[in-house]
Structure formats: C-alpha cells, structure tokens
Chain A
C-alpha cells in the first residue's frame, strides 16, 4: 500500500503564482523527502525534512511537516514555467537500523502557464 499520497493529483497555475502540494502518510517516519521529475527524466531530490523538524526552506521551496497529522506540504513560491514537472513525496517507515526503504507517492503533475 502507498505510504505517501499526494494531493491534488494535478495542479495548473499561472507563472508567478504560488503552488502548494500536499502529502499524507500512514505510519511514523524518520524523514520525508520531496522529489521532482521532468518529463522523460529521472527523479531529482529537492528537500529532506526530518521527523523532528517542522519547516525547512530551500530557495523558493518551503516544506512543512506535521507529524501529528501525518502530513507535509511543499510550497513553491513565485512559480516559473520551468517548474512544470511531477512532484513526489517519499517516506520511510520508522524502524531500527539503517536499512529501511523509501516509498513514493504517485505524484502531482504541476503545470505552470507562462
């Protein structure tokens, strides 16, 4: 079963607007990651937020994590046409030891209109 589920499934905005994407998960986690995938390419890591962190910034990206609600949001401010891509959240189920696998959601398709 999917650990992380994103919503909405698709989002279309105008260039310059902000884009907010959400991810919910089921079990306790060590960390949550967001990735971007441009059409025909591999996934690219954007940001990692640990379970003891509530908010993290990287350039125009802002990620929040609410472990009580088991949810995260990714905010892209001042969007650009180049932000058009699919965005995935990935979570790892909390367990002892270093070996646990990431589970990816099905992704959000973001279209930024110029």
Chain B
C-alpha cells in the first residue's frame, strides 16, 4: 500500500511564477484534502473533495489558489501567481468513508517562493 503520494517534495520558485502541486490519494478513498502548514498559522484546511467534487473551499486564501480533482486518483493545487507569503508545507490527505474519520497524510510539498 503506497499511501498518499505527493509531488514534488520540494519546490523553489520565484515570485510571480505558477506552482502546481500534485497528489495521488489512497485507492478507494472517497475524500481528498489539501492543507497548508506554517509556523504562524499551524495546519489549515484549504479545500476538500468528496468523490472528485469540491465540497468546501472556504479555506482557499484567494483567487490565486485553485484546486482540481479530474479523477479519483489525482488532484492538483495550483498557485498563480505565487507570492513569498505562500511559502509553506502543503499536505494532501485522504480518507475512506467520511471527512470525519481517520485521514492519511502524504509526506508534503515544501514550497519556497523567493
């Protein structure tokens, strides 16, 4: 069982560039979550999907952020244009039955925007 897979693991980019983060959830999981973790704000939920449909995107900071889930095995989080304050670790997680149950986290993508 491969677990949640995220790529890239590290990303360094310059302000204004587009950044795309990728996630493959655990097979058979109905829910997929995108989180952002910073020292100042802790772990924040950005958006989550149920059966590929976005359910709650109230945590998405602004229009520069967008997320898609074109199929059950793939999701992207895109930041365009990126800003230094977007620097953080971005986690993808998935869960089986409901959004309240155990969530399985990927290893994260460490993003640095210069």
State the main secondary structure of chain A at its contact with B: strand
**Known contacts A42-B91, A42-B108, A101 near B102 by CB under 8 Å:** no
Over the window 10-34 of chain B, the binary record of Cβ atoms lying under 8 Å from chain A Cβ atoms (1 yes, 0 no) is 0000000000000000000000010
Q: What sequence of 0s and 1s flags, for each residue 13-40 of chain A, a beta carbon within 8 Å of any chain B beta carbon? A: 0000000000000000011010100000
CB of B71 within 8 A of chain A?
A: no
A48/B48 in contact, CB under 8 A: no
Chain A interface residue count, Cβ-Cβ cutoff 8 angstroms: 23
Contact B42–A105 (Cβ < 8 Å): yes
Q: Is A102 part of the contact surface with B, judged by Cβ < 8 Å?
A: yes
Q: Which residues of B contact A2 (CB under 8 A)?
A: 42
| Contact count A vs B, C-beta below 8 Å | 56
Q: Which residues of B contact A62 (CB under 8 A)?
A: none
Note all chain B residues with C-beta closer than 8 A to A31.
100
A42 CB, nearest partner CB in chain B, Å: 4
Docked-complex contact B45 and A102, CB < 8 angstroms: yes
Checking B99, B103, B106 against A98 with a beta-carbon cut-off of 8 angstroms, the contacting residue is B99
Contact B99 A45 (CB under 8 A): no
Known: A104-B42, A104-B43. A99 touches B105 (CB 8 A): no
Q: Which residues of B contact A12 (CB under 8 A)?
A: none
Chain B interfacial residues counted at CB < 8 A:
23
Determine whether the beta carbon of A43 is less than 8 Å from that of B48. Answer: no
Bound CA span A95–B91, Å: 25
Residue of B42, B56, B104, B105 near A101 (CB, 8 A) is B56
Contacts of A88 in B (CB 8 A): 43
Q: B99 to A99, Cβ gap below 8 A?
A: yes
Asked if residues B105 and A44 are in contact (CB atoms below 8 Å), the reply is: yes
Contact A48 B101 (CB under 8 A): yes
- Asked if A92 meets B100 with Cβ closer than 8 Å, knowing A43-B105, A101-B45, A101-B56, the reply is yes
Which residues of A come within 8 Å of B, CB atoms?
2, 30-31, 33, 35, 41-45, 48, 88, 92, 98-107
